[in-house]
Amino acid sequence: MHHDAHRHIGVLPAHPFYGGPPVHPDTTARATVKELVADLDREGTERALVLPNYGVPDPSVAFTFNELALEAAQCDDRLRAALWVSPRPQDAGRTEQALALAGEDGVRALKLSFLLGGHPTDPACRPQLDRIFATAEAHRLVVHIHTSPGAASDIDQVGRLVEWYGDRVRMHLVHFGGGMSGHIKLVGSRFFDWIDAGKQVYTDLSWAIGFAPHWLAREIERRGSGHDRVLFASDQPWGDFAGEHARMAAAVGDGELARRVFRTTFADLYD
């Protein structure tokens, strides 16, 4: 049995991505808690953090799935919820509505992504970021942050949030930098430097390029740190559960590191 620290709920509307026809790329997205739980049973997933699905360039869609994520956490004790929040000043009202749910049973995280707008270093976004992280601190929540190469989600940019807020708020950096450059920056030094500096930083390796999980596991063993900061995540429906699980299992083996990656670090962070 294993714990999944990153999967989504909610079916997105069709969208004409990149100038093409309207499509539904999230083919395994689930519209109901019952469907989601059936997936967990089939996989053997014992616990999961459930986040609103997002991807179409309209933040209002992601906000509508907050209630669904909360429903999931409150109707099945295997599940914990993350609430979608936004750094954009245009979304301040909807973010306040989401933050008002931060104290509800089952809420363990706030989901932050710059894919739908905003930037970590944009002064216009700083009041919203301060509000999000202050709420996380007050309710002892994790801030779950998307990373990917380039633009606002690049680890060079998201890393500023670690520097500003990581002393007092736990941060889960999704996708381990999200690509070749991010992986090398993080494994090469930055991830371990943050840990050594007392930053409360965690990560998962969903979407990771093949070399990264093995290298990270080797560096954790060599350095003697970071073993309690890595989680398994499928990122369903954008990731593939079977592939993500197999890649991580091959990298971490079946010893103490595997136990932490697949089970106990989730319990420490999200229970």
pLDDT of residue 1 exceeding 90: no
- For 224-245, what is the mean pLDDT? 97
* Residue pLDDT, tens place only, 112-129: 999 999 999 999 999 999
The closest alpha carbon to 9, from 57, 76, 95, belongs to 76
- Quick one: pLDDT at residue 145? 98
User: What is the average per-residue pLDDT within 82-97?
Assistant: 98
* DSSP states along 164-191: HHTTTS-EEEEGGGSSHHHHHHIIIIIH
Percent of the chain scoring above 90 in pLDDT: 99
Residue 240 clears pLDDT 90, i.e. is over it: yes
C-alpha to C-alpha distance for 149 and 69, rounded to whole angstroms: 27
Nearest to 9 by CA among 61, 52, 39: 52
Q: Residue 62: its pLDDT value, please?
A: 98
Question: How far apart, in whole angstroms, are the C-alpha atoms of residue 66 and residue 101?
Answer: 9
Say if residue 23's pLDDT is above 90. Answer: yes
Which two three-digit tokens encode residue 244? 């993500």
Q: Rounded mean pLDDT of the chain?
A: 97
pLDDT exceeds 90 at position 206: yes
Neighbours of 228 (CB within 10 A): 16
CA atoms within 13 A on the CB side of 213: 26
Cα 261 from Cα 204, distance rounded (Å):
9
pLDDT digits (tens, 9 = 90+) for 141-181: 999 999 999 999 999 999 999 999 999 999 999 999 999 99
pLDDT score recorded for residue 6? 97
Given this model, what pLDDT does residue 112 score? 98
Cα separations in angstroms, 162 against 153, 178, 201: 13, 16, 7
Candidates 264, 263, 208; CA nearest to 44 is 263
pTM for the full model? Answer: 0.97
Q: What is the pLDDT of residues 29-82, one digit of tens each?
A: 999 999 999 999 999 999 999 999 999 999 999 999 999 999 999 999 999 999
In this prediction, residue 48 carries a pLDDT of 98
